[in-house]
Each structure stands twice: as C-alpha cells, then as structure tokens.
Structure 1
C-alpha cells in the first residue's frame, strides 16, 4: 500500500510489484488500479515491473473537489513516474486511462517512455461535433451524469451489462465481474467521478496524438458499446505516426477481462517486440 503526494497535496495510491522494465497502467472510469490485477500478475511473472495507480477521486486516492480534469490526471501520472524514477516505461491506458496516457505524452513527452498501448481508449474525441460527426451526442453523456448523480450504485451495476457485452445474445455473464466493477466504482468520490465524465467525453486529444513518437499499439473491440471504435481507434491510428491497430472481433469495452488471455498475450508480444 503506497502513495505519493502531489504538488497540490493529493495522495495518489499506487501498487508497484516486480522488477525489470516498468509497465505503468492507467484505468478506466469509474474504476481503480484493481482493474489491472490480471495484467499485473501476468507481466510480473514474465519479468516486468508493474505499476498501477488510482486516479484522483477514484479508488483509494484522495477524493478532491478541484483538479478532476485531464491535464491534472496527466500531471499526476507524471509526478508518479518522476517519483519512482521510471525510464524506458511502457504506458498502458484503458478507456479514460487511454486519454490520460495520451494527454501525458502530449504534455510531458516521451523522455521516460519506450512504448504506449491504448485499449478501448477515448481519444481523439468522444463527443459529436461539427468537426467530429462520428462522435456520440451530448445527450448520451448527460444521461451518464444523471444516472451517476441520481443513483450511482444502481447505475454502475447496470453499466456492467454493455461494458462487458453481457447484454449480447449468448453472453456468459460473470456476476463476480459485475460486483468487482461496482465495488471499484463505489470506492471513488461522486464529485470527482461526475467531473471525470466531462473529461472523457469532451476532451479533444487530436494534438496530443500527433505528438506521440514512440511505437503505439491500439487495441479495440469492434462491438465496444461504450467507446465505439469508429470515432476512436480508427481515427487515432491515423494520427499517431507509429501506431498499429489490433481489432478484436466481437470485443467489448471490457475486453481486458472478457478476452483476458488474448489481451495479455498481445500485450506481452508488443512489449517484447
């Protein structure tokens, strides 16, 4: 159980296991570092140092009233990387965490970074605009805000169905996975989680993506009901100079769990390659 204290006094919880080349994980909304348990154990057993933190206002980190925005998330990640003196790191971000990684690379560069992996990630922009007609209308995110504010416990439980594709015919539903998602979500603070909705939906990462100058693997499910692949991965791969897109047929937003063995193998192969 470790924490760093950021410049604004926020305590960021993190887990740091193993030794070797560091792999740093950024989780999705409204989860925590626990979302990466299987990947951390898998890579740790293959000789890597694995690190995952709880974003501010999520999990076991400080629940802050202010600072719940993408620039600060990226700066918190930068402080963690500096504090742990990491070099040649592989950054792995899922969903909102993919935005966090992208903004970190855009703001802080790749001095400490060897490679990046974006999984079901929100860049370049989730919101539908005149310049981004393939995005989702603002009403979708207003609905997420209302559901989270009115009864986030029930909303998070219901969200697991499209998140993991459990609402698809023939899906094998794991009640344990649903309960883990709910528990991680409820550990965080309501104010920060509400603030984060605007960040993952309205932040434009286009310029950040263009600045990424390390090999980047983009993994996305073509049945992702949370971050549709058309306005995200298919656009990001065009913007990152040295990016490869791997599409998981029928893959859900939660493919790190629903297709865990395949994802772990692809992640390891990319890191070693």
Structure 2
C-alpha cells in the first residue's frame, strides 16, 4: 500500500496498479480498497491504471475522531488526486464511495473527471413524496437515530447466508480476510448519519460528464429504480441493472466488469 497525507494531517492509504488511463475506485461504508480486487484485475488487464483509495477510518488508513462527514471525504478525494498527480480520471464509487465522488464534484467540479460510475448508491437516502427510491424505511420522521446501531436490516434482498459465497471468493482471491471496519465507533456512526441526510440529485444533474448508474436489482438497501430515474435526469446518463444484492461488484463481478468496460470504451476512454 502507498500513503499520502491530507491537508488536515491524516495519513490515507491507497493501491496503485497498472498503467494507462486512470480509474479511481472508492469503496463503500466499512469496506477497504481491496474489496475492488475483481474490478482492479479486469481494469489492469484492459490497460488501465487503477488507484483504489482507503477512505479515512477505512482499511489501512488512519482513523481519526474528526472528519466524519461526506464533505471531508470529498475533500480527501481531492487531496488524493492532487497528491498522486492525476489530471484526468474516471471516478468509480460503490455505495458510500459513490457519494464521496459526488461530494468531491460538488465542491471541486469536473475539471479532472472524465466520467463517473456509481455502484448501487441512491442519490438521496431519505424517502419523501417525490422520492420513493431511498433507504427502505428512512424518512424525515425516522432519520434521527436511524443508523445509531449501524445499518439496520430491511428484510429486502439476499440473506446473509446467500452473501457468503461472494465473500469466500473474495477471501480466496486476496488470500486474506478483507479488513472491514466496525460501525460501532462514534466517527462511523456520525458518518452514517451525515451520509443519510445528503441529497446529490442536483449535483448529478449538473455534472457535465458521462455517468453510469449500476444498481443491484435485489439490493438490500433501496429499490434499483433509483438508477433508472437518476440516469434519466442527466444529459449523459446510462444504466446497468445487475441481478445481485447491494455489493454488486463482489456478488456479480463479471457482470459489473462488463458494464464498466463497455462504459469506458463507449466514452472513448
């Protein structure tokens, strides 16, 4: 793993493999950069340089008590691109990693962004009369304390048992258990709460780059319709629905890789 230091003195780790056009991978809540290994393998074989970031509090990165906000995570991504000297990249985020990408674009713009891939992340977590595509059961009335004990079960999607095979395949490829982090610490709870209150729809609509919205048809967290609606409201939006749960990149890596590589070729990258 390589490291760099953010502008608030936090040491973050990242993977750097391959050569060619840059694709940056940002994993979701609790997940380390190594959970992208199946995508990393496919992208490197296809001629890309892959940079995979461990966000603060995740993987091998430092876990400070401060900075548990999506705004800070977006700034960390900006610091990362600057530290490694990336001028142009496709940014690919899974779950909260996708929200990190939108946070970066909200404050920094798209001058260094060739395209965006979102893997199963609704742009608005809270459901209301105009947006029924958020986290199951999350509303303005329930948001306070909703994630106080971590991510609640929703009764949707594949069971925990059904998810064991993809995890086993991941462990076999990595030859180790991926270093997942607990949601029980105050910073992680604060991060979940801040994430739940965000609305990235306007940022996505305003983004002047190609966007691929990948969604798991059987996501445990939200309806896959979020991807269809979001892409429809963008100038350069595309959709790929995968027969998987939330962690589509691990559940169905071949299908996700095909969708991503097709998207990259389609935008001439």
Q: Is the 8 A contact 2:17 2:44 kept in 1?
A: yes
**Corresponding residue for residue 145 of structure 1:** 148
Equivalent in 201, 205, 220 of residue 225 of structure 1: 220
Structure 2 stretches lacking a partner, 5+ long: none
**Corresponding residue for residue 256 of structure 1:** 249
User: In the TM superposition, what is the alpha-carbon distance from 1:185 to its structure 2 partner?
Assistant: 2.2
Structure 1 stretches lacking a partner, 5+ long: 149-154
**3-state SS of the aligned residue for 1:92?**
strand
Q: Give the structure-1-normalised TM-score.
A: 0.84
Q: Give the structure-2-normalised TM-score.
A: 0.85
Question: Alpha-carbon deviations, 1:144-201, whole Å to 9, x = none?
Answer: 42247xxxxxx8xxx7x977x2458xx4742626979985323788233212211332
Change (3 A) 1:211 1:256: same
Change (3 A) 1:28 1:177: farther
Change (3 A) 1:178 1:260: closer
Equivalent in 189, 192, 214 of residue 194 of structure 1: 189
**Corresponding residue for residue 14 of structure 2:** 14
**Corresponding residue for residue 132 of structure 1:** 131
Q: How many residues align?
A: 257
Aligned pairs (5 A) from 1:78-157:
78-123=78-123, 125-129=124-128, 131-135=130-134, 136=136, 137-138=138-139, 139=142, 142=145, 144-147=147-150
C-alpha separation in 2, matches of 1:172 and 1:189: 22
**3-state SS of the aligned residue for 1:146?**
coil
Change (3 A) 1:188 1:128: closer
RMSD: 2.8
Question: Alpha-carbon deviations, 1:33-57, whole Å to 9, x = none?
Answer: 0110111121112211000111111
User: In the TM superposition, what is the alpha-carbon distance from 1:234 to its structure 2 partner?
Assistant: 3.1
Q: Is the 8 A contact 1:27 1:96 kept in 2?
A: yes
Moved more, 192-201 or 26-35: 192-201
**Corresponding residue for residue 151 of structure 1:** none
Q: Is the 8 A contact 1:60 1:188 kept in 2?
A: no
C-alpha separation in 2, matches of 1:57 and 1:240: 32
**Corresponding residue for residue 38 of structure 1:** 38
**3-state SS of the aligned residue for 1:117?**
strand
Moved more, 61-70 or 16-25: 61-70
- Identify, as 1 or 2, the structure richer in helix: 1
Question: Alpha-carbon deviations, 1:123-151, whole Å to 9, x = none?
Answer: 1x111245535434254884542247xxx
User: In the TM superposition, what is the alpha-carbon distance from 1:224 to its structure 2 partner?
Assistant: 0.9
Aligned pairs (5 A) from 1:239-254:
239-248=233-242, 250-254=243-247
Moved over 6 A (4+): 178-182
